[in-house]
Every structure is written in C-alpha cells, then in structure tokens.
Amino acid sequence: MRRRLSLSSDAARFCRKEASLATQSYYCIQCHKKYPTHRKLFKTLYDFSKMAPQDCPACGGTRELRVTLDFQLGTGDGEFKVVSAFLPDKLESWLGEEEEEVTFYPFVVVLERAGGGKQFCWMPYWHVTGKEARYGQHAVCLDQSQFDSLIEQVHEKLLQPV
Ligand SMILES: [Zn+2]
C-alpha cells in the first residue's frame, strides 16, 4: 500500500537540477573507447543498478560506467568508476504539491577513482515527480570503512531485543 504523507513539499524544495553535477560515459576496458551516455544521471544509475552495461560495440570488451563529478567531494573532483549502484528493494512514494505523486530514490553508489584507488560510497538521491527527476541538494560521500561501520551499528542495534 502507498503511504500518503503531507510533509513532501519540504523535501522537494531542497532540490536543484542534476545537469551541472555530473557527466557519465561507458568506458571500454579493452579498446579504451569512451561512449557518452546522453542520458540523465538518474536514468543511467537506475539502469546500472538493474543490470551491467552492454559490451563494447566496437570490440566486444567489457564496459564500465564512469562518472565525472564536478562538485567538491573532499577526495577531489575527477573521474570515477561506478563499481556498483544500489536502491532499496522498496521505494517510498507520497502525494506532494498539487497532489502529484513523489517517489524517493536514495542510491548507494560505490565509486573508485578511475585507474584504481580506494573505494567509497556516494549517496545521491532523487525525488521523481511525474517525468521529472530532481537531484537532492546534498549527497553524502563516505569512505567505505565509515559506511560499513555505520551499517554495522544499525544492524547491531536492530538485532538487539528491545
Ligand atoms: Zn572496446
């Protein structure tokens, strides 16, 4: 059953367009060809969370998804390989302004600096209303071990009898 909450509009207010934040491409690890996705980051990540990119049309090699982040990450801006992308099994929807349905897409994306390096978790999120996906203003970026530590604590707490 769909949840109907009224606090939706707040969340929608803290948004900005995704276009200025990232560009994405598929990169062939065999022939090193780069293919811009020509798609929105939201759609690209969504698809990637469901299935691996198709092989390189030129050489049949494996292609990886890369994103160029142009906002300050702390680890420095640049190009990152998307190792994996996850969405919760169940997404939450509610009725927002003008009774429009809003769906919240909180991603956990594991990134690695192109050319190898430490992995970390990037947590961008979108609010999708109708056909429009709005990027959240803030995306959390955590070291893999910090992220593990947090999730571990959540699990420990949840497993404890109340
Ligand atoms: Zn190729």
* CA–CA distance, 73 with 15 (Å, rounded to integer): 18
**pTM, two decimal places:** 0.75
Residue 120, exposed/middle/buried by CB under 10 A (0-12, 13-18, 19+)? buried
| Pairwise pLDDT comparison (5 vs 33), residue with the higher score | 33
- How far away, in angstroms, is 141 Cα from ligand 1 center? 31
Give the pLDDT confidence of 98-133 residue by residue, as tens digits. Answer: 888 999 999 999 988 877 777 888 888 998 987 777
CA 33 to ligand 1 center in whole angstroms: 6
Collapsed DSSP state (helix, strand, coil) of residue 140: strand
Ligand 1 centroid distance, CA of 40 (Å): 23
Distance 116 CA to ligand 1 centre (A): 19
Longest dimension (CA), the chain: 58
pLDDT over 70 (residue 63): yes
Going from the Cα of 64 to the center of ligand 1, the distance in angstroms, rounded, reads 11
Q: How far is the CA of 36 from the centre of ligand 1 (A)?
A: 14
Q: What are 102's two structure tokens?
A: 């809003």
Q: Positive or negative CA dihedral for 5, 93, 136, 122?
A: positive
Distance 48 CA to ligand 1 centre (A): 18
- Please state the rounded mean pLDDT for residues 8-23: 42
Average pLDDT of 14-26? 58
What is the number of other CB atoms lying within 10 angstroms of the CB of residue 52?
12
C-beta atoms surrounding 74 within 10 Å: 9
| 63 CA from centroid of ligand 1 (Å) | 7
Average confidence (pLDDT) over 22-38: 91
Kindly give the distance from the C-alpha atom of residue 22 to the centroid of ligand 1, in angstroms, as a whole number.
Answer: 23
Sign of the four-CA dihedral 90, 96, 101, 102: negative
Among candidate residues 1, 53, 7, the one with its CA nearest the CA of residue 27 = 53
